[in-house]
């Protein structure tokens, strides 16, 4: 299933900056960064459970927020992209470097 | 059904692959070219001078990601293989069957039947689209005759003889299917291929063989012990067996499409001093893109009656063969298009 993950992390403190970097790293493990603080992750339910738990362990409930949008199995078809830096669909596009 | 994961092709020379957390990173010097989550990748194909970090190699072994090295021109060099997965009892059964001629013959016969039927379909398709053609019609009739004689072969050698005969008939008229000037097919030549058509075919066969090897390993079978192909050191006999089902329908048709739509041209090939003909780097990319697109196509599997992507077919066949070896299926149903 395709899950869209967005987050807001308060970066006033250096501790907040650390959380921001950390959250981004976890998201990169499971999906592609489509915009700043926006990730598209195509994961199965088991992987999602891991991913979610990892993120919930890092964020600070009083200062940060996390949002998960469940776009379902055919989520790809619900997305349109305009403008710069289109990200490849890592499951279906040809990955030729 | 298993989710079709992607294949990563690295053709950029002197690039370096390594693992960063759960992702695969491709670098050239200090530039990060790309980074992908590892769970989307089932196979990594490296062409030419590509280095891979030992950690990534280990990780690929652990995760069951196929890591395969080719020369720049697509000749197979090595593959990294992790722990054997699956049940050892299944593998024992695979070896046991390979020692019994009658059981071998049963599987090999299914495969050869599918191979001949599939190559015949390629010719029939041409006749259907372009109208009757005396040479093609004759070949189709002769292949039908081969099919009939394959029904009850006396021994594996007879079967191999029939397979060879059918291949000769099929490749004898293959040139009629080519519609671009400069491309001419005089017969199958390999190691090395000496004309563009053979070079393209060899390249595609190698790719599919590697995917089949991965798929067989994935279900716990040993790709090196085949039934139709005799054991030979370093030869993935079982993968080559399964490849027979796919050659015409998958590889040959893709090669024909690329040539006839003028997506590859004679200028896309290099001729070496030895006479070997190789795809140039840009052309190889084009072929890989077309190959990837083909893998995304959905077809209905003739035996499983399920919609699957072409890229999952090796996995499907490996699964069905494992079921047959376990005794759940009386005969091995090969992949044969309707």
Q: What is d(CA B123, CA B129) in angstroms, rounded to the nearest whole number? A: 10
**HEC readout, A31-92:** EEEEECCEEEEECCHHHHHHHHHHHHHHCCCCCCEEEEEEEECCHHHHCCCCCCCCCCCCCC
Cβ-based neighbour number of residue B198 at 10 Å: 20
| Token code pair at residue B249 | 């329908």
| Ordered DSSP codes for B233-261 | TT--HHHHHHHHHHIIIIIIHHHHHHHHT
- pLDDT-based confidence at B222, cuts 50/70/90? confident
User: Beta B23-28 vs B76-80: how paired, if at all?
Assistant: unpaired
Q: What is d(CA B135, CA B176) in angstroms, rounded to the nearest whole number? A: 8
Q: What is the pLDDT of residues A34-69, one digit of tens each?
A: 888 899 988 888 889 989 999 999 888 888 889 999
Side by side, the strands of the sheet bearing B66-70 are: A95-96, B6-10, B41-47, B66-70, B76-80
In B, which residues are within 8 Å of A85 by CB distance? Answer: none
User: Helices (DSSP H) in chain B: which residue ranges?
Assistant: 54-63, 88-99, 101-130, 134-150, 156-173, 196-218, 237-246, 253-260, 281-296, 313-326
Q: Kindly tell me if the per-residue pLDDT of B17 is higher than 90.
A: yes
Residue written as token pair 């149903």 = B333
Shortest alpha-carbon distance between residue B225 and chain A (Å): 31
A21 touches chain B (CB under 8 A): no
Q: What is d(CA B7, CA A90) in angstroms, rounded to the nearest whole number? A: 9
Residue written as token pair 């960064």 = A33
Dihedral sign from CA coordinates of B197, B198, B199, B205: positive
Q: What is d(CA A80, CA B139) in angstroms, rounded to the nearest whole number? A: 49
Question: Which of the 8 DSSP states describes residue B265?
Answer: -
A92 touches chain B (CB under 8 A): yes
Interface A-B, measured as beta-carbon pairs within 8 A, has a size of 61
Interface predicted TM-score (ipTM): 0.79
| pLDDT score of B19 | 92
Q: Kindly tell me if the per-residue pLDDT of A82 is higher than 70.
A: yes
Residue B34, helix vs strand vs coil: strand
Q: What is the pLDDT of residues B49-94, one digit of tens each?
A: 899 999 999 998 888 888 888 877 667 777 787 776 667 888 888 8
Shortest alpha-carbon distance between residue A10 and chain B (Å): 24
Q: Facing residues of B66 across strands?
A: B43
Residue written as token pair 């891979």 = B52
- pLDDT higher for B327 or B317? B317
CB-CB under 8 Å, B39 with A97: no
Peptide bond into B324 cis (omega under 30): no
Residues 289-318 of B with CB under 8 A from A: 289, 292-293, 296
Model confidence, pTM: 0.70
Q: What is the pLDDT of residues B238-283, one digit of tens each?
A: 999 999 999 988 999 999 999 888 888 888 888 777 878 888 878 8
Q: For domain A2-72, is the CATH number 3.30.70.240?
A: yes
| pLDDT score of B53 | 93
| pLDDT score of B2 | 67
Q: How far lies B312's CA from each of B37, B92, B237, in Å? A: 20, 25, 20
Is residue B311 within 8 Å of residue B295, measured between CB atoms?
A: yes
């Amino acid at each position: 299933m395709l899950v869209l993950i967005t987050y807001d992390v308060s970066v006033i403190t250096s501790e907040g900056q650390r959380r921001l970097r950390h959250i981004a790293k976890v998201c990169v493990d499971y999906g592609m960064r489509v915009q700043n603080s926006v990730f598209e992750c195509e994961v199965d339910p088991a992987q999602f459970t891991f991913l979610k738990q990892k993120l919930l362990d890092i964020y600070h409930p009083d200062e940060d927020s996390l949002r998960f949008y469940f776009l379902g199995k055919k989520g790809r078809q619900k997305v349109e992209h305009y403008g710069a830096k289109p990200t490849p669909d890592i499951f279906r596009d040809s990955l030729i470097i | 059904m298993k989710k079709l994961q992607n294949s990563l092709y690295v053709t950029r020379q002197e690039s370096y692959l390594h693992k960063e957390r759960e992702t695969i990173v491709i670098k050239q010097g200090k530039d990060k070219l790309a980074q992908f989550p590892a769970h989307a990748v089932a196979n990594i194909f490296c062409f030419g001078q590509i280095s891979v970090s030992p950690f990534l190699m280990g990780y690929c072994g652990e995760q069951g990601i196929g890591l395969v090295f080719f020369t720049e021109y697509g000749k197979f060099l090595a593959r990294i293989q992790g722990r054997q997965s699956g049940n050892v009892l299944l593998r024992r059964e695979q070896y046991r069957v390979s020692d019994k001629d009658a059981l071998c013959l049963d599987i090999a016969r299914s495969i050869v039947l599918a191979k001949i039927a599939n190559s015949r379909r390629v010719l029939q398709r041409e006749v259907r689209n372009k109208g009757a053609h005396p040479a093609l019609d004759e070949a189709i009739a002769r292949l039908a005759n081969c099919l009939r004689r394959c029904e009850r072969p006396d021994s594996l050698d007879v079967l191999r003889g029939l397979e060879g005969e059918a291949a000769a008939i099929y490749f004898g008229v293959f040139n009629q299917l080519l519609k671009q000037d400069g491309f001419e097919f005089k017969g199958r030549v390999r190691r090395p291929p000496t004309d563009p058509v053979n070079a393209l075919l060899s390249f595609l066969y190698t790719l599919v063989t590697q995917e089949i090897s991965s798929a067989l390993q994935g279900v716990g079978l040993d790709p090196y012990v085949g039934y139709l192909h005799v054991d030979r050191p370093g030869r993935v006999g079982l993968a080559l067996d399964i490849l027979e089902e796919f050659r015409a329908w998958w590889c040959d048709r893709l090669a024909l499409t690329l040539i006839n739509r003028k997506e590859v041209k004679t200028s896309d090939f290099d001729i070496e001093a030895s006479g070997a003909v190789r795809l140039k780097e840009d052309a190889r990319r084009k072929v890989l893109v077309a190959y990837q697109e083909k893998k995304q196509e959905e077809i209905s599997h003739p035996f499983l009656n399920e919609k699957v992507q072409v890229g999952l077919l090796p996995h499907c066949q490996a699964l069905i063969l494992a079921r047959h070896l376990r005794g759940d299926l009386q005969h091995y149903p090969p992949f044969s298009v309707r």
